Structure 1
Amino acid sequence: MKDTRTLGSFPLRIKVSALVVLALAGLAIATGLSNYFYFRAVLKHEAIGRGKAISGTLASALVEMPDSAIGSTIASVKKEANLAYVEVVGPNGNIIAHTFEGRAPAQETTVLKEAERVQETSIDGNAVIDVPAPVITGSIVHVGLDPGAATTMVLEAQKLLIGITAAALFVFTLLTVFIVARFVDPLRKLTQVARRIVEGDLTQKVEVTTSDEVGELAAAFAQMVEKLKEVLRALQDSVKLLTDAGNELGQSTSEQSQTITRQATALQQTQVTAQEIKQTSLLAAQKAETVLKLTEKADEVSSQGESAIEKSLGGLTDIRAQVDEIAAKIAQLSERTQQIGGITQTVKDLADQSNMLALNAAIDAVRSGEHGKGFAVVAREIRSLADQSIQATNRVREILEDIGGAIRV
């Protein structure tokens, strides 16, 4: 299956560690190359100095040396000093003595007649450094140096340096991974907690002990979570109070309904009694005692109706007191909602400031070039975390606005 992951999908710890390791590797390679060319130049300079000393010494010795001893002398010097060649050139440019095997190879006349300047030339296809020294008699001593010997010494030293650099790079890589992990771990924990809180789980704890900007952001985030918990507890208490008030209101309504039923019954009885009185009045003469009894009964029923009405008025008074209490609780809930809105605004402002700091850090990282790429990555992660905080506060604000709208209704 083809891997379609991009650089942005890798964890921040891996990206920062890779950036630091690449920087260290580049520095090690640059240091190695510079050391190689520097030491090669130094060894070349020392070899030329040594060649001048040898050629000068031979030039002084050849003044009083017989011609028969010149060949053996320069051969001995070549062997002991590990030189490429030694040759003595006469005033007319002919080679008097040399250390080549057999005949002397063809050489440029300008090089053979040069008595002062050190030159890089080629003999039989091999690069050599020719170091001349004039003799008082007019002859010239030429000492040939092999530049490959210096290069070999530099390569040997470079191998040792590469081994040491590789070991140091490995150790620095481990240290970088450890340090970056310690730096990124609080951000990773804070991001996980933020995701769970966005999903509705407010039981998460923000455990970040650093004292830098990440620690400050974590502390502010922890305060926001605690405030949200307090809001939820206040809402739960308010719901409980509303439930109790509703139960009491329902009970009062039931009692009022029973009272009204009794009133209706009493009024019905009064109407029946009035009808009976009307009928009885036609027979007043004949049924005076009956009318008197019915009148007394009507009076008794009226007294009961008056008592029932007084009870109904008392129940309405209780209902009004409960409604006032509910209004006071709703006002307290509205104030708490406004306080939470202020807290969410503070968290949003802090997230905006973190976003601005991340933007400034990104700009500084761009100005810093290659060394600032790691800080640019960290700045983007902090900016992403600030955006998540803003989204969480906006969600809390929407919930609070819904609660405020329900309270106003």
Structure 2
Amino acid sequence: MKNWTLRQRILASFAVIIAIMLLMVVVSYSRLLKIEAGEERMRNDAVPGVYFSSMIRSAWVDSYIQTQEIIGLKQNQDISAEDVADFKSFEQHLVTQMGNYKQTINSREDQNEFDAFEKDHQDFNRIQAAVLDLHQRKQEAEAIRLFNEQLTPAWTKGRLKLNDIISENKAVADSATAAIDDAVAAAKVSMGVSLLLAVLAAGLCGLLLMRAIMAPMNRIVEILEVMRTGDLSGRLNLERKDEFGAVETGFNDMMTELTALVSQAQRSSVQVTTSVTEIAATSKQQQATATETAATTTEIGATSREIAATSRDLVRTMTEVSSAADQASVLAGSGQQGLARMEDTMHSVMGAADLVNAKLAILNEKAGNINQVVVTIVKVADQTNLLSLNAAIEAEKAGEYGRGFAVVATEVRRLADQTAVATYDIEQMVREIQSAVSAGVMGMDKFSEEVRRGMAEVQQVGEQLSQIIHQVQALAPRVLMVNEGMQAQATGAEQINHALVQLGDASSQTVESLRQASFAIDELSQVAVGLRSGVSRFKV
């Protein structure tokens, strides 16, 4: 076991624990099988047997008591249909329970007992039928004698046999219960023993693994403590063939490489110190030169920025002039378009005014037609009034027979009067409409004249705007040429300024870089000194 690897030891420990757990599972499963068998015996044999045999005994007693009541209490009385139904019910219940019990029989002895009871049952039914037949024929003395001498002993024999069956099923139930209790106790003991063995095995395996790991780890810690002081001469010697053997080989190789590296670092630290001193002197000379260049570039940049500022102001001014010219041209064009749309609108208004005049003329003509119709309606109303008057006169002549016709004539005359009044109102309204139409025609004529005058003025303004647009459009190209020249000058000045700014930035960056390089060289010098002092404490 000393030559085992850590992996093999860990797997062996888990294998022992798993084997003990599997053994515990097998033992527990076997006990559970016994418990299941006992429970199945209780469920399918013992408990149903006791229950059905008890039900058979109850039906057996009920049948006997019913026969006893008929013989003792109903002498000289016929057996009623209710009694017959009771006997059939008892017998049917008894036969049903016997069939149920028969399905629970699992042993030869139980079958023999049940066969004996079936024979007793047949004898009891035969004697009971004879007793009831004698009672039905009014032979009470013979029936009582047969009841006491044959039926009661047969019933007692069957009851004793049922008691034996019940006792036997109870004994089976007690036996199954005892078997279940024994299996449960054995399962508890086996599981406790298996659990104890598993705990002991786990503790023992853990102890062995801890010893196998801690011994080499302690040796490694000792070597690391020695290395922490700067002594790199120590080496591991674990004498192991497992994973710690590979760790030992790798650690010793690492120490050999580290020793060579420290030796090389000690030699290089001296060379680094010398080179850093030379670089520092050169860096200071370059820093002075770069500072002078940056100052000169700054002065040139200030002058270039003034030129660029003046050029930008001129470009801004010419841009504003060009924008103003463009806006004037656009506004003039928009005004000319608006005047053109206004002229079109006035033409449309004149057309609409002519159309309104035509519609008003038609309306005036229609009003005249309405007036003619009203005159006709007035004539009809007058004629109707005259006819109603004549009808009233004729109704008066007719006396009592013409009274209804007189009422109708009165209503017709009243309707004719209302028609005359309405036609008068219509005539007045038509005259008012004709007056309003005449006034509207005159107003529309005046409006058309005003529109014509406005169109002439709009045309004159449009011609003036056209002249303004031509002048502005001729000015725009010249302003554009001046603007382009100023923009080119401003662009050149800005490019010069950008170049000088970049040159100044480059000079500043150079000075800053040289300053940082000087700082870095100083730090490198300190690092070289620290490296030299650091590697000097290692023993190789």
User: TM-score, with normalisation over the residues of structure 2?
Assistant: 0.24
Q: More helix by proportion, 1 or 2?
A: 2
Q: Which structure has more RCO (C-alpha within 8 Å, separation ≥ 6)?
A: 2
